[in-house]
Structure 1
Amino acid sequence: MSVHANSDDSWHGVVSSDSQFQPEKGRYHFYIGLFCPFAHRANLVRHIKGLESIIDISIVKPYPKGDDKGWPGWQFPSSPDEYEGATEDQLFKSKYLHEVYFKDDPDYKGRYSVPVLWDKKLNRMVNNESAELLRWLPTAFDSILDSNAPGRDIDLYPESLRSTIDEINVWMQRDLNSGVYKAGFAPTQEAYDNNVPTVFAALNKLEQLIYKNGGPYVLGKDMTEVDLRAYATIIRFDVVHIKENYTKSHYDINPRAITPLGPFPHIEDGVDLDFGKLKPGSIRHPAVLSRQKELYGSSEEIPSHM
């Protein structure tokens, strides 16, 4: 596959010993946004595999958003203190992310999204597809990791589970990862009412899988890329998809961006975080159970622990 076939195409490069993008410490740079679950996938791999000293990073602000292609935002802060959690463009001091895209392809016509993996040596973009990065990044730098590095032996796409992971990824992307946006950005009440049950049906399906496989991860005792896909969406369920994103994205409905109180940033201080004590459950609203049966062929409930 071409790295970047034309100005309408994304970038599809792979870091590997047999490609033009060789695994080298300090050669690559990530552009992400902490608000974005798709960029979060890549950053989770960066941390889980211990690549922080190998791949450095720049972080865009969540606002302004720009149009449906991200024009002119995403934007970098003009100083390190302007926006908490965001950074200046550490490579080019760009104001907008689209400037980084144009450094590789001045005629680019696609979306200006995160994540972006940039090659500082060749001065070009490697990849901006989160699903592709999630697939190959976990093993891309194993050859230069220390033999005793904590993340070296983590395999997020084990051969024995690949067909199962591929199957789950299809419906999880459609019904949960994208489903929260189909509901949150629904243009009508009818569309919203139709999309919400799909999201909760997917959550029920995940809960069933964890219960069936014995946890603590979706497919059992070992973490896979399925868990990263699920986590990056679910961790934002209240704080972003409901509290932050929804209230600030519907100007005609909520022009003052009035936001309900909570959830609180330090709520975990009063919560027992031993998740092994939690009992599995499900959303049992009739519309959700009906959608679950429609999508997955079953609305089987997890046995009650009450």
Structure 2
Amino acid sequence: MGLLVDGQWQDQWYDTKATGGRFVRKESAFRNWITPDGRPGPSGEGGFAAEPGRYHLYVSLACPWAHRALIMRARKGLEGAITLSVVHWRMGKDGWTFEEGPGVIPDTVNGASFLHQVYTAADPLYSGRVTVPVLWDRQRRTIVNNESAEIIRMLDHAFGGAEDHYPEDLRAEIDDLNATVYDRVNNGVYKAGFATTQAAYEDAVRPLFETLDALDRRLAGQRYLMGGRLTEADIRLFTTLVRFDLVYHGHFKCNLRRIADLPALFPYLRDLFQTQGFGETCDFGHMKRHYYESHPGINPTGIVPLGPVQDLTAPHGREALG
């Protein structure tokens, strides 16, 4: 995992010395919004109107942040309106690449071999991490946005469609829960896995499992996080849960419990997996091989475990909670 410095690629891992062994995620750099008529969104500048065929999405099938965008793209039926490129699962000295491999979709828009070339196409002097997802504008030849939380709201609202995953009457509650889940769960697994001191690791793992237990209690009596209605909060939680037992439990040492051990969260995970847009966007091979092959500091042998064996297509019994 490298980064760009004034447009020049450097193979450099996260520096945790200055943070006491703690992993600190940097904010995304590109923050424009696609809107129905091209007016400015909550941040950035205007001029990005919702036009089918204009935008291109760069993702990794391994990455939970990019997976959010894939789910929303599928749920809103935007596969024909927004084209797609998929990077290789292995992230080595060159960062995300378009090396040939099962599931990889090359960059037919910019012709890039490396994702960092897409960033420098937008800003030749860009400095920062090169992350997915990336939403690209063919017309203006630039990156619209590389913040997954904002991309899924654009896809949800800019292009129309009946289903609303961020309804006005639930927005305050969704925002509040999202903030907790992001800090303690979505990013919490990374804070645990990338920690380089015992204290930093424990400071991440304890609130992670406290929050998972609280979510398990919340979901014991309701089908979705907001009750009977599926929202973006469910999408944001799902992409971590579906990777948890597969990767985070072992690779990131988040092993106090498995999701499979939690009486409400595991059926909830199966329920979402069987919902349109969720299961069909999962690639467990990319997920496992990315983490176990891309982090030599954590897994120096590069061996990818065969397990766990998990059937997410089994009956979940949560229909009555709706």
State whether structure 2 residue 178 is matched by structure 1 residue 156. Answer: no
CA displacement at 1:263 relative to structure 2: 1.9
Rounded to whole Å, the distance in 2 between the matches of 1:63 and 1:258 is 13
Identical residues among aligned pairs (%): 41
Task: For residue 252 of structure 1, report the CA deviation from its aligned partner.
Answer: 5.0
What corresponds to 1:173 in structure 2? 182
* Amino acid paired to 1:125: I
Aligned residue for 1:239, secondary structure, equals helix
Question: Quick one: which of 12, 15, 18 aligns to 2:38?
Answer: 18
Corresponding residue for 2:238?
Answer: 231
Separation of aligned partners in 2, 1:58 and 1:86: 7
Map residues 1-306 of structure 1 onto 2, 5 A cutoff: 10-16=29-35, 17-19=37-39, 20-66=47-93, 72-77=94-99, 82-142=100-160, 152-211=161-220, 214-241=221-248, 242=250, 244=288, 247-248=292-293, 251=296, 254-264=299-309, 267-268=310-311, 272-276=314-318
Compared CA separation, residues 117 and 208, structure 1 to 2 (3 A): same
Q: Distance in 2 between the 1:203 and 1:126 partners?
A: 33
Within 1, Cα distance between the matches of 2:89 and 2:242?
Answer: 17
Deviations 1:77-136 (A, max 9, x none): 2xxxx3112111121221100101111100000211111111111211111111111223
Q: Which residue of 2 aligns with 1:149?
A: none
Distance in 2 between the 1:252 and 1:268 partners? 31
| In 2, Cα distance between equivalents of 1:253 and 1:154 | 41
Distance 2:85 2:135 in 1: 10
Alpha-carbon separation, structure 2, partners of 1:235 and 1:253: 21
The AA in structure 2 aligned to 1:131 is: A
What is the RMSD computed on CA atoms of the aligned residues? 2.5
Amino acid at match of 1:226: A
> What is the total number of aligned residue pairs between the two structures?
251
Residue 268 of structure 1, CA deviation: 2.2
Find the structure with the greater CA-based Rg.
Answer: 1
Q: Which structure 2 residue ranges, 5 or more long, are not aligned?
A: 1-5, 8-26, 40-46, 252-287
User: CA contact under 8 A between 1:116 and 1:128: conserved in structure 2?
Assistant: yes
Distance 2:51 2:308 in 1: 41
Q: Which amino acid aligns with 1:53?
A: G
Q: Deviations over 1:57-91 (max 9, x none)?
A: 0011121244xxxxx311012xxxx3112111121
- Ranked by relative contact order (alpha carbons within 8 Å, sequence separation 6 or more), the top structure is 2
Distance across 1 between alignment mates of 2:297 and 2:67: 29
TM-score, L = length of structure 1: 0.75
- How big is the shift at 1:192? 2.4
Normalising to structure 2: TM-score of the pair? 0.71
